[in-house]
Structure 1
Amino acid sequence: MGGILKSSIARKLVMALSGLFLVLFLLQHFLINFTSVLSADLFNEISHFMGTNFFVQFLLQPVLILGVIVHFVMGIALEIKNRNARVKKYVRFNGGANSSWMSRNMIWTGLVVLAFLGLHFYDFWFPEIYHKYIAIHPEDPMRYYGETVAKFQDPIRTGLYVISFIFLALHLLHGFSSSFQTVGWHQKFYKGLRGATVAFSILIPLGFIFIALFHYINQVQ
């Protein structure tokens, strides 16, 4: 395994596969969060199930955390390797001639997303761990909606979420479609997928922005 991961191709493949896995989680996370706009009871019911289900908590959640770590470690390792490989500087090189802004700045958009994940863990995951396993409070199936919307009372925190989702969109606009190329998706099918990945990369972050602003505006009115 160590020898395989020394290969740039293997690292790119691992990063692509972990990225596609995280996209699936992102979609699932959005669908659950969107129910908070539709019905507090429905959001509480789904969140309670996810928060108390053994399979989700002790199998899927560790896999998700591992996926996040692997994806970002591989991305940073590839960026360092690419920078070290550029032993010659071409003064007249135009980086934008053959690549998009998103592809040239994946490391920066990725770092912003990573910082956002840190904030998100601080807001939701750590308090949940404390509530259940440290303070050992009795389970309240109706607490999830109130705890979630309370985070969007602060305009600064809401603004940080909005900015982070914009950077997530920029990261996805290149990363999502390029992941299919990396795993060897046939060019004939890739062309059809390009439109779908662009739509996903824009609509899902916009959906998260809508959720954040919806709860913020509802509380300041």
Structure 2
Amino acid sequence: MGIISSSIARKVAMALSGLFLVLFLGQHFTINLTSTFSPETFNEFSHFMGTNFLVQAILQPVLIFGVVFHFVMGFILEARNRSARKVSYVSYKGNANSSWVSRNMIYTGIVVLAFLGLHFYDFWFPEIAYKYIEANPSDATRYYGELVEKFHSPVRTGLYVLSFVFLALHLYHGFASSFQSVGFNNKYARGLKKFAKVYAIAIPAGFIFIALFHHFNH
């Protein structure tokens, strides 16, 4: 029932989960950015995130649930919208009614989801192996070296950059429209939408900068 049966509730749930993921994205970017000017600070932040009970036992599962929930709701909304559309594709003039990004959110979302799957695999499998299979002692200085190593390959770095281009496209429409979906429509709405569009470009561009910085400097 609830979010499954109500179109408005589904959109609100989708928007709220998206906003939650946007907050995480900003936090993740802030930590990664420190690697470009202070390896020690990056190691400290990463060690805290990797060993803190609250982060590992509570926030991390919530994040995983948020990612899965957001994309499942996206697929549900896309399927419902397609089935409810009354105008045929022949006469539907998408270019005249909406932007390319808004019409292709499902596809940019699939690319982002694929990247997240690879990113989780790339992060959690080595972490699980290091901590529990190999039972290595805790090393608060290992994170910077591991990050740099991930950007050694030009193919890996190129795929990383491409994925964040798609994330920027996805965020450019999704982040701004999420405020409207949750009913935020007052004098600050226009300013928030402008902020969302700047954020949608600046944060992915920042991640791309980090990847290229480590690729070309190490």
Measured against aligned partners, the alpha-carbon deviations of 1:140-191 in whole angstroms (never above 9, x if no partner) come to 1110001111010110000000000000000000000110000000143211
Measured against aligned partners, the alpha-carbon deviations of 1:50-79 in whole angstroms (never above 9, x if no partner) come to 100000110100000000000000000110
Structure 1 distance, partners of 2:170, 2:79, is 18
What is the deviation of 1:88?
4.2
Aligned match of 1:51: 50
CA distance 1:137–1:90, shift in 2 (3 Å) = closer
Aligned match of 2:212: 213
Aligned match of 1:71: 70
Structure 1 distance, partners of 2:189, 2:137, is 50
Q: How does 1:32-181 map to 2 (within 5 A)?
A: 32-181=31-180
* Aligned partner of residue 93 in structure 1, secondary structure: coil
Structure 2 distance, partners of 1:133, 1:175, is 38
Q: What is the TM-score of this pair, normalised by structure 1?
A: 0.95
* Aligned partner of residue 97 in structure 1, secondary structure: helix
8 Å CA contact 2:3, 2:13 repeated in 1: no
Q: What is the TM-score of this pair, normalised by structure 2?
A: 0.96
What is the deviation of 1:3?
3.8
CA distance 1:194–1:87, shift in 2 (3 Å) = closer
Structure 2 distance, partners of 1:38, 1:76, is 40
Give unmatched runs, 5+ long, in structure 2: none
Amino acid at match of 1:77: I
Q: Percent identity?
A: 67
- Tell me which moved more, 45-54 or 133-142: 133-142
Structure 1 distance, partners of 2:95, 2:129, is 47
Give unmatched runs, 5+ long, in structure 1: none
8 Å CA contact 1:15, 1:71 repeated in 2: yes
Root mean square deviation, CA, Å = 1.2
CA distance 1:4–1:198, shift in 2 (3 Å) = closer
Runs of 4+ in structure 1 off by over 4 angstroms are none
- Tell me which moved more, 123-132 or 208-217: 123-132
Structure 1 distance, partners of 2:203, 2:212, is 14
8 Å CA contact 1:123, 1:151 repeated in 2: no
* Aligned partner of residue 97 in structure 2, secondary structure: coil
Aligned match of 2:20: 21
Structure 2 distance, partners of 1:102, 1:134, is 43
Structure 1 distance, partners of 2:16, 2:167, is 18
What is the deviation of 1:31?
0.1
8 Å CA contact 1:36, 1:42 repeated in 2: yes
- Tell me which moved more, 11-20 or 131-140: 131-140
